[in-house]
Amino acid sequence: MKTVLLERFVQEARELLQTAASGLLTLEREPGDATAINEVFRAVHTLKGSSGLFDTPPLTRLVHAGEDVLQQVRTGAMTLDSNVVDLLLDGLDQVGAFIDQLDRDGTLAGDADRIAAQHAGALRARLGGAETAVVVIADTTLPVAPPEWLAGFPAAERDALLARARAGEALLAVRYTPDEGCFYTGTDPLAAIRDVPDLLAVTVAAREPWGDPVADFDPYRCNLVFTALTAASRDAVEQAMTYELDAVELRTLVAVDAIAAPTPAPDVAPEPESSALLGEAGRHIVRTQLRVIAGGYDAIRLRSTGTLIGNLLRSLRQDALRERWEIALAEAIAAEDLAPVAAFLAALEEGPAPAAEAPPAPAVPLLPAELPASATADTPSAATLPAAAPPGEPRPASKTLKVDQGKIDLLMNLIGELVVQKNALPFLARRAEEIHGSREMGREIKEQFATLDRLTQEMQGAIMQIRMLPVAEVFDRFPRLVRDIARRLDKQVDLVLKGTDTAADKTIVEALGDPLLHIVRNSLDHGIEEPATRVAAGKPPVATLRLRAWQDNDCVVIEIADDGRGIDPARIRGVAVDKGMVTREQADALSDQEAINLIYRPGFSTAAEVSDLSGRGVGMDVVLSTVQRLGGRVSVTSQLGQGTVTRLSLPLSMAVTRIMVVDIGGSLYGIPIDHVVQTTRLDPGVIKRIKHREVFVLRDEVVPLIRMTALLGGRPSAVDAGRGEAVLVCRVEGRTVGLVIDDFREGMDVILKPMTGLLAEVSGYCGTTLLGDGRVLLVLDLKELF
């Protein structure tokens, strides 16, 4: 039960943190947004409530501090400036870290208490002293530090530390009065006090007035008293000061202004001699009913209380008392007077009713004396107890099921196996016909196969739907990120997200994060100008960065557009020449778009200074290779002075790879269809030789030919003179090559299995798949081969 509950909590907490964080960002932009503040507050409030179910006081304390700050914002007592937002976001991040710890270890890390106290202290410091707060006396074995101990500290420092103490952090005050003659004993008081671990602040003062600097000053007599504040434990302090313990006094630091009257909990603590009949819960119920009806005569409320107390007595099998209660109730309702009921409740609460007695309890002095005896017989019972309802069938409250991703992946793999296994059936059918000579059996197998084929396809489709995630999964982290980066760069950026519910396979969506992050950072770092520069260029000071996603046939397109300074092709050309990537002549011959495309080359970076944001070494080349690995494309267009648009186009799903099966040297291989430009058959006469390489001309382009049998081994089959050489024209990393193979076979959709175990290191293959007859098909990785 506990683990399920904790799992649920982890999940809920993460969602609530996300809600709170995005709401805060909205609020920072629109401070008056009442919906947003309520949403943030409720998220944090719910989180606090849920966290109370677990033994995680630091987590609850931190969330509580955040809630208190938000409450003040909500009531208008505090304005939400960027600094408060920073504090809150930091606090939420810390809560997120706690949640991660809980998720991983089932418990919080050892330093959670201290860390939570720091965050909570920083938050509570914003509240102002008037707020009452939970006071945790750090070490109850120690007396509280007197205020004069703290007088020597600068006010700001003292208040900050008091805020931490108020937030529940265990702080100690150490007063160290070294011996007057300590200079003769080799003691260094300053070094001694500095040895106190986790030292937060130290002051030095004179014990006695210094007197006349010339006449009275004795440089060999120590007249100092040190006061230190520390977050260390008493033991640690005593250990550090072990030789000076006689001169040390320890006190607990408590924020004096925080010691307000603690709010009494409404469920009053049970008195020691709690009635054995009612028990704690029952006494609370009865006492509360006295309060509930105290508001004055109200028929509805009274009847509700009547039912409830009736239930209570039934639950306790006090039938005799229950009868009396109904009489008292009827009397009260008839007379519209609460007295009989109140008296009964008061008597019931005070007890002591003989709990051990059997159900037909003897008359206990519970019946109020003033109750007329006549009321017993003829007054109808007003408190009709509800008939026992039929047993409730617990229905699921939500139609959404949360499933661990690993389980979906497992299902996906199993279905992949099923697809492959199913492909063995036509092979079996052929064997039935050809080897066992049973045409009938072959036909039946084929029929079964057709049904199975349809079912597995539907199943595969259904699972792929489950794997679809909205791009919001990655987009959602950008508001925070853009805000933080923009703040660090002193730039003003308005982030616009569109099409966040566009869905794509989870592998794609998850892999999108890093390329997107890089492009967005580039845009903020290099594209978007400082507000002053923008104004000078006639643009609004606040830049706009748009992240947009939409579905285009079987692709998902992500567009990142800024209205920054754009990419200067001339500058790109210059950098490329300086870096020796192209010659000046080549650079000049490039069109502007071609020049811009140079940014994809490895090692290209135009930022004059390396910033810690975009960094060094990771450039657009990495974005390109990531996107290509996912089977997608990248394009960048830019208008100098107007902005840059980067567009990523990715397949909706990559679970299934379409390959073309080819015959090379008598073996079958798969080639990912993404690479294939066209198939052709070449007459031996059109194959030319340039130096040692065979080439042919395809639409004005000289295409090198690669004989795959030479590369992969195997015996080339004789060329059928009438048909020519089979050539598969492929594009690999922007180059066109012609692969000379023995024959083309069919195209098929397969689920690629990565090369594992001993084969994992073998390059040139991107994976394997099983053919219908059980043979393993190697799928070539052309990028690695050439």
Partner 1 sequence: MTKPHVNGKRVLVVDDGMTTRLYYRDVLETAGFGVEEAVNGVEGLERALMGDFDLLIVDVNMPKMDGYEMIAQVRVDPALHEIPIITISTEAGERDADRAYAAGANLYMVKPADPALLTETAQMLTGVEMAR
**Which residues in 13-32 contact partner 1 (CB under 8 A)?**
13
Residue 255 Cβ vs partner 1, minimum distance, rounded to whole Å: 20
Residue 100 Cβ vs partner 1, minimum distance, rounded to whole Å: 16
**Helix (H), strand (E) counts: the chain:** 27, 22
Rounded Cα gap, residues 723 and 232, in angstroms? 87
Is 267 one of the binding residues for partner 1 (CB under 8 A)? Answer: yes
E strand or H helix at 293, and its extent?
Answer: helix 279-293
CA angle 572, 577, 622 (to 5 degrees): 60
Is 186 one of the binding residues for partner 1 (CB under 8 A)? Answer: no
Contact residues for 240 (Cβ-Cβ < 8 A; gap 6+):
195, 196, 197, 232
| Residue bearing tokens 């052709």 | 680
Is 642 one of the binding residues for partner 1 (CB under 8 A)? Answer: no
Residues 191, 197, 202, 204, Cα dihedral to 10°:
-30
Toward partner 1, which CB reaches closer, 165 or 309? 309
From 5, 205, 414, 535, residue interacting with partner 1 (rule: CB under 8 A): 5
From 223, 233, 304, 533, residue interacting with partner 1 (rule: CB under 8 A): 304
On whether the CB atoms of residues 783 and 732 are closer than 8 A, the answer is yes
Residues 220, 226, 231, 235, Cα dihedral to 10°:
60
Q: In 3D, which of 637, 622, 625, 612 has the Cα closest to residue 560?
A: 637
Is 285 one of the binding residues for partner 1 (CB under 8 A)? Answer: yes
Is 380 one of the binding residues for partner 1 (CB under 8 A)? Answer: no
Is 395 one of the binding residues for partner 1 (CB under 8 A)? Answer: yes
- Stretches 112-120, 257-265, 587-595, 769-777: which one binds partner 1 (CB under 8 A)? 257-265
Is 8 one of the binding residues for partner 1 (CB under 8 A)? Answer: yes
Q: In 3D, which of 765, 784, 785 has the Cα closest to residue 776?
A: 765
Would you list the DSSP string of 675-743? GEEEEEEE-GGG-EEETTEEEEEETTEEEEEEEHHHHH-SPPPPP-TTT-EEEEEEEETTEEEEEEESE
From 191, 214, 265, 608, residue interacting with partner 1 (rule: CB under 8 A): 265
300 class by beta-carbon count within 10 Å (0-12 exposed, 13-18 middle, 19+ buried): exposed
Is 266 one of the binding residues for partner 1 (CB under 8 A)? Answer: yes
Is 289 one of the binding residues for partner 1 (CB under 8 A)? Answer: yes
The interface mask with partner 1, positions 30-69, x = CB under 8 A, is --------x---x--xx-xxx-xx----------------
E strand or H helix at 344, and its extent?
Answer: helix 339-350
Contact residues for 10 (Cβ-Cβ < 8 A; gap 6+):
99, 102, 103
184 class by beta-carbon count within 10 Å (0-12 exposed, 13-18 middle, 19+ buried): exposed
**Three state DSSP letters for 476-510:** CCHHHHHHHHHHHHCCCEEEEEECCCCEEEHHHHH
Toward partner 1, which CB reaches closer, 110 or 295? 295
Residue 405 Cβ vs partner 1, minimum distance, rounded to whole Å: 19
From 61, 158, 166, 284, residue interacting with partner 1 (rule: CB under 8 A): 284
* Strands laid side by side in the 199-206 sheet: 199-206, 224-230, 172-176, 248-252
Is 214 one of the binding residues for partner 1 (CB under 8 A)? Answer: no
CB atoms within 10 A of CB 33: 16
From 300, 369, 435, 721, residue interacting with partner 1 (rule: CB under 8 A): 300
From 394, 538, 684, 757, residue interacting with partner 1 (rule: CB under 8 A): 394
DSSP strand pairing (643-651 vs 633-639): antiparallel
Number of chain residues interacting with partner 1 (CB under 8 A): 61
Is 753 one of the binding residues for partner 1 (CB under 8 A)? Answer: no
Toward partner 1, which CB reaches closer, 303 or 647? 303
Toward partner 1, which CB reaches closer, 54 or 600? 54
Is 209 one of the binding residues for partner 1 (CB under 8 A)? Answer: no
Toward partner 1, which CB reaches closer, 102 or 740? 102
Toward partner 1, which CB reaches closer, 276 or 776? 276
From 26, 187, 203, 288, residue interacting with partner 1 (rule: CB under 8 A): 288
How many residues appear in the chain?
786
Toward partner 1, which CB reaches closer, 8 or 498? 8
From 177, 305, 456, 657, residue interacting with partner 1 (rule: CB under 8 A): 305
Is 448 one of the binding residues for partner 1 (CB under 8 A)? Answer: no
Q: In 3D, which of 321, 385, 327 has the Cα closest to residue 358?
A: 321
Is 315 one of the binding residues for partner 1 (CB under 8 A)? Answer: yes
CA 648 vs. chain centroid, Å, equals 25
Toward partner 1, which CB reaches closer, 319 or 743? 319
Is 291 one of the binding residues for partner 1 (CB under 8 A)? Answer: yes
Residue 61 Cβ vs partner 1, minimum distance, rounded to whole Å: 13
CA angle 327, 388, 330 (to 5 degrees): 15
- Stretches 190-198, 308-316, 535-543, 711-719: which one binds partner 1 (CB under 8 A)? 308-316
Binding site for partner 1 (CB under 8 A): 1, 4-5, 8-9, 11-13, 38, 42, 45-46, 48-50, 52-53, 263-267, 279-282, 284-285, 288-289, 291-292, 295, 300-301, 303-308, 310-312, 314-317, 383-386, 388-395, 397
